[in-house]
Amino acid sequence: MSSNRRKKLAAVRRYASRLEDNAAAHLATVANDVQAAKQLLQELIEYRKEYLTPPATREQWQAQHWEDYYGFLRRLDRAVDAQQEIAEQHGLRFQSVREEWQRLRTRNESLDHMDQQLLKTEQQRSELIAQKEADAWALMAKIRQAQ
């Protein structure tokens, strides 16, 4: 009976393991997305640092050059802000996916524990049956000797 339970549990454990593996792969993908978003943000920040200092030829610039320059800096600032938001969203997504993976991992650990308990119960039952058989044989041997 316990062996039948373990067979059924094995199917559930295989399915749960696949779910956990898929969640782990998804977590790795999201972690890569987070890293890429942070890297792009860092690049944009570095660009902004570079362009905050106007070129040395600024004395020769006309008003249009200055307007273009400051317009570019405003667009770059908006890009940095947008990328910051994207990086934060990826970070939140990572947390959510990690929590789901941890939930699945915990469930698999519980299923493993349950399987170990079923195996232990099955072994104890087998030992009990073997002991009863040995006791029965010993009792029958005593009865035969007494006759």
Cβ atoms < 10 Å from Cβ of 105: 14
Is 99 or 62 the better-scoring residue by pLDDT?
99
Reference 21, options 101, 139, 86; nearest CA is 101
Cβ atoms < 10 Å from Cβ of 132: 10
49-91 confidence digits (pLDDT tens) = 888 876 666 667 788 888 888 899 999 999 999 999 999 999 9
CA gap 62, 57 in Å, rounded: 11
Q: Are the beta carbons of 31 and 87 closer than 8 angstroms?
A: no
Q: How confident is the model at residue 1 (pLDDT cuts 50, 70, 90)?
A: low
CA gap 34, 49 in Å, rounded: 23
Q: How far is CA 26 from CA 18, 105, 111, 138, in A?
A: 12, 14, 22, 61
C-alpha atoms less than 13 angstroms from C-alpha of 72 in its C-beta half-sphere: 15
Whole-prediction pTM value?
0.72
8-53 confidence digits (pLDDT tens) = 889 999 999 999 999 999 999 999 999 999 999 999 999 998 888 7
